[in-house]
């Protein structure tokens, strides 16, 4: 049985729970992380508004809140900036990939990105 439930006003549908306030805050961070990953996997952005606690305290919907907490997200984990990296493959595998991408009109990078996305979802 959980003792605490939270509302994340800036993210619709985010309602973490926990046995303690700390567990509830940890659950909130995990939910936000998963939510952002889902958005990015769907090609969407994660531009959240960030409400100030003082503003929320004045809102009748949150007037009876027992505790307030701000949760930080490391946005660098979710950067969509392109990054170069080196890959070492056998010549045989590289030739197979090159033949495949030539037929599909992709690039090696597109092939790797699509394959990675498919494996991770």
pLDDT score of 86 = 92
95 and 40 together in one domain: no
Residue 28 and residue 15: Cα distance in Å, rounded?
A: 8
Whichever domain contains 70, its CATH number is 3.30.160.250
For the entire predicted model, the pTM comes to: 0.66
pLDDT score of 64 = 85
50 and 106 together in one domain: no
67 and 88 together in one domain: no
Range of the domain at 46: 1-77
Q: Is 37 helix (H, G, I), strand (E, B) or coil?
A: helix
Kindly give the residue spans of alpha helices, DSSP state H, lying in the chain. 21-41, 53-57, 91-104, 108-120
Q: 55 and 44 in contact (C-beta within 8 Å)?
A: no
pLDDT score of 1 = 61
73 and 99 together in one domain: no
Number of domains in the chain: 2
Collect all residues with Cβ–Cβ distance below 8 Å to 36 and sequence separation of at least 6.
Answer: 46, 73, 78
Q: What residues of the chain score a pLDDT lower than 50?
A: none
14 and 72 together in one domain: yes
């Amino acid at each position: 049985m959980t003792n605490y439930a939270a509302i994340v006003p800036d993210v619709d549908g985010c309602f973490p729970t926990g046995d303690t306030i700390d567990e509830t805050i940890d659950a909130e961070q995990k939910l936000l992380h998963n939510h952002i990953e889902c958005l990015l996997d769907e090609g969407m952005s994660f531009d959240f508004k960030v409400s100030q606690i003082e503003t929320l305290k004045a809102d009748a919907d949150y007037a009876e809140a027992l505790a307030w907490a701000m949760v930080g997200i490391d946005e660098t984990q979710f950067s969509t900036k392109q990054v170069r990296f080196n890959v070492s493959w056998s010549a045989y595998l590289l030739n197979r990939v090159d033949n495949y991408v030539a037929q599909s009109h992709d690039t090696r990078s597109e092939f790797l990105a699509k394959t990675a996305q498919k494996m991770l979802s």
